[in-house]
Chains A and B, each alone.
Chain A
């Protein structure tokens, strides 16, 4: 499934925070959206999920999922698209799960909302947990009893269980330890290879983007200043902002 964004404009009153000409994620492709805080990348995520209006923003333009226009769809329809076709994981995995419910309960409820019966939901979720290398027993735990890395993987398992074909990942590993981050990134890569998932990966960490993504779009102050295949952008950036970002990434190799 592909995601095609064209002429996307998100604004708060007179203030434009996102102004993207074109951004696409093809089938089984990982596209990175790189930028610093305030660049508008998170608002872009919200816009794709159809949730930008909940924070008071006005959205115009086109966001097509496999050719189907999402902007302007009634909320009820969007609610079926969200989760089952486009899944999202965020920086703070503990925010994705209501702390007073067991994670399994939250997951099953989400699955049921998309039409499955309780037993179907439980079965699918258990299977998904195994796919992300977590024991299904962990579903009986409360969010506070799981680590950040585990919660993030449960969130990904839910996306897998929902058979989502597009994954929006908004800084999913920024709050994780670097070894745990490596594991989550590996998992995302597998989802692309094995399940053909399309991923829009948002991050301020260019090194992570360089390692994980096939293509990258660099965002500054709401617009994309440069985009293209990741190797090309990283080795020969054309925009000064990209060059500045690249210069700023600390590297073990550079110092030797």
Chain B
């Protein structure tokens, strides 16, 4: 089956910084979920934006249904805007505060002539119900809704143009835990009902385990590893994935493994480390890691990793749970912290 979305060697630069440095991914036609996991500075949000053509690609290609996205113009571009939609992270600024909910959704419908004008009101109400909201909310303003409700409206608006691919950029990070659960439930339901394909961008591995067949882990703009989610979580092939997985807090004690505590912070993107970008924080780094950039390669059927010692990690090599207590003098400078 041909991929719905293909990202090949994508590079995105902001000035001297390589926010995305040679990433290749594939999203199959729906129902399908690809998880894009990483912390701040990983480039995951930038990839989402590049797919929507909100930021330009410096190199590489993005193909949708086989066609090069960057080359689309006029009608082709309009079609694309209908087929691919995005939901952002911040529910507070995701909707125009001066526009009623119903009008905001109707605006999306009108932009693509999805339904004749007179039927727009009805379609708006249908969409609100579909996302679990009271259709009466159409006359309200964004500030009259809770964060979780606003996020649902954003989803309804994105769905109104009947996209085939949805990019969800940290859709639950800014929400309370129960609202988070409900949004994730909604995404699962929409996936089944609409046969939706989505790119789920998050920093929380627990979220992808529920909703994505495939997952890709990013670190400083590069792919650390990718593969089927269940396998990746059960047996990581990259030390960063192991550390990330061990850092996810669990409610039940039995679910917790030994915590691998990484030393330091994600590095400054303007001064990336030499060789493998992860080596300063890696619990099992060896000499080679400092000098040679590991290539992304197949380490098992369907699984790729960019690590010189991937096979060992995959086989379950023990990792030091704490990287000593040595203080690195004058640690690297500021990065954007947070999801």
Contacts and interface: CB of A to CB of B under 8 A. Distances in A.
Interface string A217-256: 0000000000000010011000000001111111111111
A179 B338 contact: no
A208 B204 CA distance: 13
B90 to A, nearest CB: 13
Contacts of B335: 147
Contacts of B253: 210, 231
Contacts of A133: 263, 325, 327
Interface residues of B, number: 53
A179 B177 contact: no
Interface in B213-269: 230, 233-234, 243-256, 259, 261-263, 265-266
Contacts of A204: 176-177
Nearest to A94: B337
A145 interface: yes
A253 B261 contact: no
B249 A211 contact: yes
A208 B249 contact: yes
Nearest to A133: B327
A97 to B, nearest CB: 13
Contacts of A212: 249
Nearest to A247: B181
Contact of B250 (A137, A147, A211, A235): A211
A251 B327 CA distance: 33
B39 interface: yes
Given A135-B331, A177-B337, A234 B252 contact: yes
A231 B251 CA distance: 9
A186 B259 CA distance: 10
Interface in B145-203: 176-178, 180-182, 184, 203
Give chain A's interface residue range (CB within 8 Å of chain B): 35 or more
A16 interface: no
Interface in A14-39: 36-37
Nearest to A185: B249
Nearest to A140: B330
B181 A250 contact: yes
Contacts of A208: 249
B261 A178 contact: no
Nearest to B326: A133
Contacts of B333: 145-147
Interface in A119-158: 130, 133-135, 137-138, 144-150
Contact of A138 (B251, B322, B330): B330
Interface string B90-130: 00000000000000000000000000000000000000000
B329 interface: yes
A249 B251 contact: yes
Contacts of B210: 250, 255
A133 B327 CA distance: 6
B184 A147 contact: no
A246 B204 CA distance: 17
Contact of A183 (B203, B207, B262): B262
B177 A147 contact: no
Contacts of A150: 265, 331, 334
A255 B209 contact: yes
* Residue picked from B253, B266, B331, B337, most chain A C-beta under 10 Å: B337
B214 to A, nearest CB: 14
8 contacts: A36-B178, A147-B266, A210-B252, A212-B249, A234-B251, A250-B207, A251-B252, A255-B209
Given A148-B338, A150-B334, A177-B337, 18 more contacts: A135-B329, A138-B330, A145-B333, A147-B265, A147-B337, A175-B337, A182-B261, A186-B322, A205-B177, A207-B249, A210-B250, A211-B256, A234-B252, A245-B177, A249-B181, A249-B251, A251-B209, A252-B248
Interface of B: 39-40, 176-178, 180-182, 184, 203-207, 209-210, 230, 233-234, 243-256, 259, 261-263, 265-266, 322, 325, 327-331, 333-339
